[in-house]
Amino acid sequence: MIKIPALRLRAKLVLIFVAIKVLPLVLLAALAWSAAHRLGHALGQRAAVMADNMAGSIREVGDKATQDAIVALDDRSREAIERLTTDTALAVAAFLHERDRDLQAAALLEPNEAGYRNFLRHRTRDYYRHGEWKLKADGSGWEPAVPHSPDPASIARAGEALPDNAKSFHARPPEYRGERSERPLYLEMSFIGLDGQEKLRIVDGEVMRPGLRNVSRRENTFVRAETFWPELRRLRPGEIYVSEVIGAYVGSHVIGPYTPQAAEKAGIAFEPQKSAYAGTENPLGQRFRGIVRWAMPVVRSGRITGYVSLALDHDHLRQFTERILPTEARYTPIIDAIGGNYAFMWDHKSRAIAHPRDYMIVGYDPASGEQVPPWLDEELYGEWKASGQPWAEFSAGIKPFRDQSLKRRPAAAMLTAGMLGLDCRYLNFSPQCAGWNQLTEQGGSGSFEIFFTGLQKLTTAAAIPYYTGQYADSPRGFGFITIGANVDDFHRAATDSARQIGLTIEQKNEAFRKERQDMLQMVENSMQRMTVELASSTFVMVLLVIGIAFWMASFLAGHIGALVEGIRRFASGDRKQRFDVRSRDEMGDLARALNSMAETVDDSFLRSEEARQRAEDASRMKSDFLASVSHELRTPLNGILGFADLLAMDLKDVEQRDQALTIRNSGKHLLGVVNDLLDLAKIESGKMTVHAEPIDLPAFVADVVRGHRAHAAGKGLELLLDMARQGPLPVLESDALRLRQILNNLINNAIKYTDHGQVSVQLEAEGTDLVFQVRDTGCGIAAEDQEAIFDRFGGVGSKVQRDKGGSGLGLSLVRKLAGLLGGRVSLVSEPGRGSLFTLRIPLQPRADEGTLGDGAGPEPSGSDSDK
């Protein structure tokens, strides 16, 4: 149990109110707050998860769509580029076949200059050349001097299409391949005698030196590299000889854009014109000029009279690959190797014969007529150098396409030397060579993807189905076309839309993040608002509740206090006190009940007051009566006693004298009774007062005892006085008259009710009290009578006692007198053995002992009983 300190009703009520009202209120508010807080938090979390999921789904769908689109676009692009490759190869083959036709026609001509010139005049073809290019101002690359942009008027406008054609109406400007010119197909046309000596020769002086030569000697041939004479000799009528591509190698010490910076890095002077042409990388460079030679016997009357030869300008062959772009642009006036989107051509031995970078086209050293060694990987280059053999000799003995891998590194020394011709058979750091070889060696085509020079490239290959002369020996034919395409470009649309989707998601995410932030902020704000509102409303309610509690407590406590105050006033004597009852509630009932109780109490009080008054009146009348009767009795009694004494003295006759003495004794007894009655009446009517004075105890007590000696002696009893066994007695301040009355009564009784033995009086001080003891060896008093004897007329009604002449007033008076002196009387007795009466009175009168003052009341009656 909890110990609750004593609290006033008001405090208790307030506490109870707080406990039953305020605590639940605060608890409820706290609960509401925490629930709302959790809700807000959960809401924010959920929203975030939902948004994340949504964004995730969109991203997933976007990724999937993008992936699918990429695959689809890649497939479509691959298909288109493979098709472009094959079509290009077919076009090349057709072009080459046309040259066969030209040669056959030429073989029919009479070998004379006019005829040959006439022949050549009609053998021309469109040739496209890009405009002028210049170094960028910052020297970081090259740019067209005048950028080309299509004339908008040349594009059919979709808006003008017939409604029937308007759907997906898509128009392109005229294809721009560069500045068109018409160029002769052949750089040379000659008639060679059976001894190898040219009889007739028409040349383009720009590439070839004019003049008749004996071609049976290699040093007289184009770049001293042609070895066709022995082949020609073996030709039968109608058979055609077609050479490989022959031209002087043009090298470069720079791969990539030929810029002043690149030249400096390569340690050469910036002379772009002296380095090989490389499309956008070096548009000013020196071009590879080569030929493909056709020749066949001229037959007259079934006899070979000589050989007609046509040297095809290699530039026309290059046109097939140089202008195509495997992108949306389709054609380019200038080829660009950097973007990775370009086409090239390889001969039947897998040597580059058309390439955006001219230094990659294999060629011959015009000084020696030997093929310039192609670009090798480090390992093969090392082996070659170690062999000490010339390239031609060394290369004849090695396996082509040996362990080609992207892991191999190109020979740096060859880059420094500027020998970068591509012979796929030995280009071992470029494994796509083996791939192309694999795709085309049986005349087929196809593609694969490879990561090369930093680009993910689709690379296609298609054999050129031209099978004239030496090319008839190879299923591949003349060689093959390859197109490299930057795969990223195919699906740029898809990646663009993927990027767009990503961007959108990012934006949406950002927007959502903001929304969420706003929402959380909103939740936070409303939480704060709610907290403040909740707290203030709770506070107000708490104040209200406490106020009500105080009011109620004050109301109740006030009412109860008023009732208590009223009852107290009533109790302290204001019996007219009544409550002003106004309310009809329980408090009102209580007040009414208290009023009616007060009414009843007042009533009985009045009655008892009347009764008391009556009793007091009666008692006073009785006492007055007793007093006056006693007084009236004493006068005649004293007369009777006086005359009885006189009579006893005068009478000589013993019997008569005894009778007179009997009268005197009876009178004396009666006087004692009257005195006792008078004293009792005085005490009971409150008229008896005591007068304290210093008492000389030894003298006083000896005197009292002395008065009883005769009586004791008369009965043959021993009367002993034992004073202050422990030392001198202190001074007693009391009413000597009343004390004497008490002691006389007690000693008198002791002697009276003792027939044998002794009566002893003993006194001693005990603390602040003086103790008198009157002991006898008399008849004693039965236990059941020990209280009754102190009542008025409480004489124990035995015959013996009555015989002793007792009135039954003595002890009653003793007790009352002892009370007046501030003391008390007690009794210890055993029938047959004796009694001990003990009087105990204070040595000094007590201050509160109103009746024991210094005689403020009426004088003592002076009645001294001396029985």
Decide: is 865 part of the binding site for ligand ADP (CB under 6 A): no
Angstrom distance (rounded) from CA 216 to CA 194:
10
Retrieve residue 749's tokens.
Answer: 């009784």
**Shortest approach of ligand ADP to residue 700 CB, angstroms?**
22
Whichever of 795 and 845 has its CB closer to ligand ADP, that residue is 795
Contact between 356 and 344 under an 8 Å Cβ cutoff? The reply is yes
Among residues 205, 189, 180, 182, the alpha carbon closest in space to that of 124 is found at 182
**Shortest approach of ligand ADP to residue 674 CB, angstroms?**
13
User: φ and ψ at 828, to 5 degrees?
Assistant: -130, 125
Number of helices and strands in the chain (H, E)? 18, 21
**Shortest approach of ligand ADP to residue 756 CB, angstroms?**
13
Among residues 232, 324, 789, 839, the one that binds ligand ADP under rule CB under 6 A: 789
Q: Which stretch binds ligand ADP (CB under 6 A): 70-78, 647-655, 659-667, 795-803?
A: 795-803
Decide: is 680 part of the binding site for ligand ADP (CB under 6 A): no
Decide: is 779 part of the binding site for ligand ADP (CB under 6 A): yes
Q: Please count the residues of this chain forming the interface with ligand ADP, following the rule CB under 6 A.
A: 19
What burial class does residue 68 get, using C-beta atoms within 10 Å of its C-beta: 0-12 exposed, 13-18 middle, 19+ buried?
A: exposed
User: φ and ψ at 471, to 5 degrees?
Assistant: -75, -15
Q: Which stretch binds ligand ADP (CB under 6 A): 129-137, 239-247, 551-559, 807-815?
A: 807-815
Whichever of 111 and 808 has its CB closer to ligand ADP, that residue is 808
Decide: is 801 part of the binding site for ligand ADP (CB under 6 A): yes
**Cα atoms in the Cβ-side hemisphere of radius 13 Å centred on 138:** 1
Decide: is 762 part of the binding site for ligand ADP (CB under 6 A): no
Whichever of 575 and 669 has its CB closer to ligand ADP, that residue is 669
Number of residue whose CB is nearest ligand ADP: 806
Decide: is 362 part of the binding site for ligand ADP (CB under 6 A): no
Whichever of 464 and 719 has its CB closer to ligand ADP, that residue is 719
What is the separation of C-alpha 866 from the centre of its chain, rounded to a whole number of angstroms? 109
Alpha carbon dihedral 302, 304, 306, 308, in 10-degree steps, equals 70
**Cα atoms in the Cβ-side hemisphere of radius 13 Å centred on 533:** 8
Q: Which residues, numbered 811-840, are part of the site for ligand ADP (CB under 6 A)? A: 811, 835
**Shortest approach of ligand ADP to residue 722 CB, angstroms?**
17
**Shortest approach of ligand ADP to residue 689 CB, angstroms?**
23
Run of H or E including 488: helix 487-490
Sequence-separated (6 or more) residues with CB below 8 Å from residue 169: 156, 158, 161
Contact between 729 and 772 under an 8 Å Cβ cutoff? The reply is no
Among residues 106, 688, 809, 825, the one that binds ligand ADP under rule CB under 6 A: 809
Q: Which residues, numbered 742-761, are part of the site for ligand ADP (CB under 6 A)? A: 749-750, 753
Could you report how far apart the first and last alpha carbons of the chain are, in Å?
Answer: 71
Decide: is 775 part of the binding site for ligand ADP (CB under 6 A): no
Degrees, nearest 5: CA angle 545-547-553: 100
Decide: is 776 part of the binding site for ligand ADP (CB under 6 A): yes
Q: Which stretch binds ligand ADP (CB under 6 A): 234-242, 532-540, 546-554, 792-800?
A: 792-800
Decide: is 806 part of the binding site for ligand ADP (CB under 6 A): yes
Sequence-separated (6 or more) residues with CB below 8 Å from residue 200: 111, 112, 113, 116, 190, 191, 212
**Shortest approach of ligand ADP to residue 849 CB, angstroms?**
25
Among residues 196, 369, 431, 778, the one that binds ligand ADP under rule CB under 6 A: 778
Whichever of 831 and 858 has its CB closer to ligand ADP, that residue is 831
**Shortest approach of ligand ADP to residue 732 CB, angstroms?**
24
Whichever of 189 and 796 has its CB closer to ligand ADP, that residue is 796
Decide: is 459 part of the binding site for ligand ADP (CB under 6 A): no
Angstrom distance (rounded) from CA 581 to CA 561:
14
Whichever of 588 and 757 has its CB closer to ligand ADP, that residue is 757
What CA–CA distances, in Å, run from 759 to 284, 401, 718?
A: 172, 165, 6
Strand, coil or helix: what is 758? strand
H-helix segments, 155-285 = 228-234, 260-266
**Shortest approach of ligand ADP to residue 824 CB, angstroms?**
16
Decide: is 257 part of the binding site for ligand ADP (CB under 6 A): no
Angstrom distance (rounded) from CA 662 to CA 644:
9
Decide: is 777 part of the binding site for ligand ADP (CB under 6 A): no
Contact residues toward ligand ADP (CB under 6 A) are 749-750, 753, 776, 778-779, 781, 789, 794-796, 801, 806-811, 835
